[in-house]
Amino acid sequence: MRRGDREEAFTTFVAARQSHLRRVAYALCGDWHKAEDLLQTSLTKLYVAWPRIEHVGNEEAYVRQIMVRANIDESRRPWRRERPTDDVGDSAAAPGLAYEERSALLDALHALPEQQRKVVVLRHWLGLSVRETASEIGISEGTVKSHSHRGLAALEKALVTADSTTD
């Protein structure tokens, strides 16, 4: 396949899946700015691997795995462990989203510990199997099951609490 055809196929894939992948990145990291960086990093790595994977037809799974691993790598960087002492507290809504559109589910999801959030997103939002989730995150299937159970229980508790305070 010619280079121009490969680039056109890549561009077509990105144009069709970019908004979905951006939402997946946001669900993984919980911050729109980090999600944009994560998506950019993932698409760059996908572009490099494109000639190898476009014939197989699993581009979506490949880029998801890149996003999960890149997010793990980024969270391990030393400067990510630093926490500001003068935290402002309230943060502005993501650009383009009205406050009313923010979901209590996403707020509760981002309150989960990182591993639980990743498992819940991959298992229950993207519909991956236990085996696929374990493979993408690099943990055992039993750990996926326990994180999924604990994460769903925490989500249910947070949503019931949020619902009872609005009544």
- Per cent of the chain over pLDDT 70 is 80
Asked if residues 26 and 46 have their Cβ atoms less than 8 Å apart, the reply is no
| Pairwise CA distance, residues 12 & 35, whole Å | 21
Asked if residues 134 and 118 have their Cβ atoms less than 8 Å apart, the reply is no
Question: Given this model, what pLDDT does residue 83 score?
Answer: 59
User: What residue ranges do the domains of the chain occupy?
Assistant: 1-79, 102-167
Question: Given this model, what pLDDT does residue 39 score?
Answer: 93
CATH number given to 1-79: 1.10.1740
pTM for the structure as a whole: 0.54
Q: What is the pLDDT of residues 117-145, one digit of tens each?
A: 999 999 988 888 999 999 989 999 999 99
- The residue among 101 and 35 whose pLDDT is bigger is 35
Question: Given this model, what pLDDT does residue 94 score?
Answer: 47
Say which CATH architecture domain 102-167 belongs to: Orthogonal Bundle (1.10)
CB atoms within 10 A of CB 76: 9
- The residue among 81 and 158 whose pLDDT is bigger is 158
Asked if residues 162 and 104 have their Cβ atoms less than 8 Å apart, the reply is yes
| Pairwise CA distance, residues 115 & 120, whole Å | 9
Is 1-79's fold the same as 102-167's? no
Question: Given this model, what pLDDT does residue 100 score?
Answer: 36
Question: Given this model, what pLDDT does residue 166 score?
Answer: 62
Q: How large is the average pLDDT for residues 60-76?
A: 87
- The residue among 163 and 122 whose pLDDT is bigger is 122
Question: Given this model, what pLDDT does residue 11 score?
Answer: 92
CA–CA distance from 62 to each of 43, 65, 133, 142, 144 (Å)? 10, 5, 13, 23, 20
